[in-house]
Structure 1
Amino acid sequence: MTDEQTGLFELPQRYVDLQAEAHRLAASCEDVADRADEADRFDPDVRERLAASGLCEVVVAAEYGGRFEAVDSLAVTVVREQLAAVSDHLDSMFAMQGIGSFAVSVAGSDAVRKQWLPQVAALEAIAAIGLTEPGVGSDLRAITTTVEEHDGELVVNGHKSFITNAPDASFFAVLAKEDDGYSLVFVPADAPGVTVTTPHQILAPHVLGDVVLEDVRVPVDHRLGEPGQGFRLMLSTLATFRVSVAGASVGLAEAALHEAVAHATTREQFGMPLAKLGGVPASLATCWVEIEAARAITYRAAAAAARDPLAGLHLSSIAKVHATEACGRVVDRCVQVMGRFGLVRGGKMERIYREARPMRIYEGSTEVILDSLAKKLVKDLAQ
């Protein structure tokens, strides 16, 4: 095989370097990961270390203090793979800076971008996006939050629920109905009429909250893009960041496998290591196979998204489904290999098990994504 052919299956050096940089940051947070991953507010040590690393620059364009000319899906994905292997809290803190600010990057007014995006890159401002509501999850066209333009201002009313980063957010990109369409509105967290509550928590604790907006007034230039462009901007965000969930899933699955292998090679039963006993070798090998397959489709999809996010959205969706579902199987299998030691309350394996489950739901549940993929498949083959 020629060097050129080999290169097709390897990350370019800049991503390898970025991977190593993210690995060093993750390793530096290992001592606080157990505590941070139980937190419902930003862990100060994790925030300080992430800010000092400069890695949040990856999710902002260079023009506004970012690392690359434009946000690069593959760069975000390889970083998340490393961070998620150590701390879900760290991974979420990094990823949400991009997910919450992307619509600002591509459609915000010059004034909003210049004021806020450099702060996002430096982790001085915390980004969040407000989509779901108490009665609305995947069917976002059913939202009841509204925005109206009055006397040179936008007036926002509504209730957003299960919003990541809400208790610590500096701003929200809020999806709202506007006339017959939907718009995204930039809302500073300290704007009068914004109230954040914390009525929910999930099995893998998260910085999570509800956001109530009562006659919140912001300047007209806080509308992101033109009126009615909300869903297009939201789709662009998904197209850029959805595949990174697959990267985080690969990292988490690999962390589980490392725990299982360490246990199986040191624990002896019936006079031999578990790694040589019964079905354990096959279980470990199957985990490895699933992880490498997931990594392959994830990197391919992320590279496609880096070139053209919307054109590669189907690949990002495929990678998200495949990697998150594989992660669930791998983690479950690793718990089985470890037996009662995989069930210990407060152990790393328990934390990994809880963190793996939400990945199949957020940023598009498996069922919703498969439904969209099926429609695209039928449409494409019918042409």
Structure 2
Amino acid sequence: MPEFSLDPAHVDWCASLRALAADRLRPLAEKGEPGRVNRPLIAALGELGLLERLFSSGALELCLLRESLASACTEAETALALQGLGAHPVASAGTPAQRARWLPEVVAGRAVAAFALSEPDAGSDAAALALDAAPDGAGSGAGGGWRLTGEKRWISNAPEADFYTVFARTTPGAGARGVTAFLVPADRPGLTGSPLDMLSPHAIGALAFDGVPVGPEDVLGEPDRGFKVAMDTLNLFRPSVGAFAVGMAQAALDAALAHTAGRPAFGGVLADLQAVAHQVAEMATRTEAARLLVYAAAAAYDSGAPDVPRRSAMAKLLATETAQYVVDAAVQLHGARALQRGHLLEHLYREVRAPRIYEGATEVQRSIIAKELYRQHGAAARQTPPHATPTPALDDEEARA
């Protein structure tokens, strides 16, 4: 597929997704309780085959799926994305037994997944996480299991998920290289949770681990290599967070076009005012630029390009910042009516803020981009003639943090 355009099949698929979201999913979303997991909505995503697409599609189709749903029903998009975020480590790094137990339930919309990485003192600096995985009893950690003690916070779908992908420190003082990923069912002894009252309309909570037992059969990937599991997941989902943002930006742009084209003002309509028309043109241009960068990042992921971390970070950075700008501008063009509870833009205004923080804040994305650029510069310098001064390469995992 050309990197900067969609073929007719993709265009038709996106249109059908938008119609499906508006007709079938939005009514279920509207019946949901804010701050709670909407299980009927997740079940519908499974029945419609959309959750299965999380694990059978490439990054580009994942972006198209998230963008299309977001433009018509942000709640459906978020429910789908959180299933993917929580279950992708199982699909990519799980054992055959783990995949057989959980993935069919996730795909069917019967099991709710969650990605438990953030902690009270370890959000953007994921390598600093402190949830302790101490060797269980006399056995070694690798052979006899571990006990998880500590807290996770700001975890989407907590405390209502059926299982959690949990990242814990198995080797103190080892930074990114001492983290292990575990699959932890919600009914494991010692695991409790509580909801957090957040701006976001979906469930977010805290998890407390009081000596929660986990064994070798619960490890995702390899012991002490869980940071790679986390980064592989985020590298896939960061461009699609950008796609979610683009979908919201497009919805706000469409609302602004409709409103300014029909709203009487000064003997004409708002669109007749050059200031308004230029504002809408700027909104459209930024939205399209973000969309193209998201598609390019997804295409790079699907092709196995070496610069995926940089491209993913750029896509999330530009798209989420653009969505914030476009939604805010649309609110301004609508005036007070956009601030009324129940208005589309009031909803988008609340939704659009969080993506600039989760899965790596804007500032973290800039750090990733800079590190990757200097890594490439260092690699190029090492290939220069002897009289040139090379730039030291960054640590491989640090540059992807």
Q: TM-score, structure 2 length as denominator?
A: 0.86
User: Any conservation in 2 of the 1:175–1:183 contact (CA below 8 Å)?
Assistant: yes
State how far apart, in whole Å, the 1-side matches of 2:305 and 2:184 are. 26
User: Any conservation in 1 of the 2:22–2:73 contact (CA below 8 Å)?
Assistant: no
In the TM superposition, residue 48 of structure 1 has moved relative to its aligned partner by 3.4
Counterpart in the other structure of 1:254? 250
Alignment of 1:368-379 (within 5 A): 368-379=364-375
Residue 298 of structure 2 aligns to a residue in which SS? helix
Which letter maps to 1:236? D
Which letter maps to 1:159? E
User: Any conservation in 1 of the 2:44–2:109 contact (CA below 8 Å)?
Assistant: no
TM-aligned CA distance change 1:31 to 1:272, over 3 Å: farther
* Corresponding residue pairs, total: 367
Counterpart in the other structure of 1:184? 181
Of 97, 115, 119 in structure 1, the residue corresponding to residue 105 of structure 2 is 119
- CA-atom RMSD, angstroms? 1.9
State how far apart, in whole Å, the 2-side matches of 1:336 and 1:350 are. 11
User: Any conservation in 1 of the 2:3–2:295 contact (CA below 8 Å)?
Assistant: no
In the TM superposition, residue 104 of structure 1 has moved relative to its aligned partner by 1.2
Q: TM-score, structure 1 length as denominator?
A: 0.90
Percent of residue pairs bearing the same amino acid type: 38
Residue 125 of structure 1 aligns to a residue in which SS? coil
Deviations, residues 152-198 of structure 1 (Å, cap 9, x unaligned): 33321121001001132111111100024110111001111110111
In the TM superposition, residue 90 of structure 1 has moved relative to its aligned partner by 1.2
Which letter maps to 2:113? A
TM-aligned CA distance change 1:27 to 1:345, over 3 Å: closer
User: Any conservation in 2 of the 1:239–1:309 contact (CA below 8 Å)?
Assistant: no
Residue 353 of structure 2 aligns to a residue in which SS? helix
In the TM superposition, residue 8 of structure 1 has moved relative to its aligned partner by 4.9
User: Any conservation in 2 of the 1:253–1:291 contact (CA below 8 Å)?
Assistant: yes
Of 268, 280, 285 in structure 2, the residue corresponding to residue 284 of structure 1 is 280
Alignment of 1:177-326 (within 5 A): 177-179=169-171, 180=174, 181-198=178-195, 200-308=196-304, 311-326=307-322
User: Any conservation in 2 of the 1:153–1:220 contact (CA below 8 Å)?
Assistant: yes
User: Any conservation in 2 of the 1:184–1:223 contact (CA below 8 Å)?
Assistant: yes
In the TM superposition, residue 264 of structure 1 has moved relative to its aligned partner by 1.1
In the TM superposition, residue 13 of structure 1 has moved relative to its aligned partner by 5.5
State how far apart, in whole Å, the 2-side matches of 1:301 and 1:257 are. 23
User: Any conservation in 2 of the 1:236–1:310 contact (CA below 8 Å)?
Assistant: no
1:54 aligns with 2:49: yes
State how far apart, in whole Å, the 2-side matches of 1:165 and 1:309 are. 32
Counterpart in the other structure of 2:387? none
User: Any conservation in 2 of the 1:291–1:326 contact (CA below 8 Å)?
Assistant: yes
Of 93, 113, 116 in structure 2, the residue corresponding to residue 107 of structure 1 is 93
In the TM superposition, residue 32 of structure 1 has moved relative to its aligned partner by 4.7
Q: Which runs of 5+ in 1 are unaligned?
A: 61-67
In the TM superposition, residue 42 of structure 1 has moved relative to its aligned partner by 2.0
TM-aligned CA distance change 1:310 to 1:18, over 3 Å: farther
Residue 119 of structure 2 aligns to a residue in which SS? coil
Counterpart in the other structure of 2:337? 341
Of 31, 39, 46 in structure 1, the residue corresponding to residue 34 of structure 2 is 39
State how far apart, in whole Å, the 2-side matches of 1:98 and 1:138 are. 20
State how far apart, in whole Å, the 1-side matches of 2:187 and 2:305 are. 33
Q: Which runs of 5+ in 2 are unaligned?
A: 381-401
Counterpart in the other structure of 1:159? 151
State how far apart, in whole Å, the 1-side matches of 2:8 and 2:258 are. 30
Which letter maps to 1:316? S
In the TM superposition, residue 244 of structure 1 has moved relative to its aligned partner by 0.1
TM-aligned CA distance change 1:313 to 1:13, over 3 Å: farther
User: Any conservation in 2 of the 1:240–1:309 contact (CA below 8 Å)?
Assistant: no
In the TM superposition, residue 34 of structure 1 has moved relative to its aligned partner by 4.7
State how far apart, in whole Å, the 1-side matches of 2:37 and 2:260 are. 35
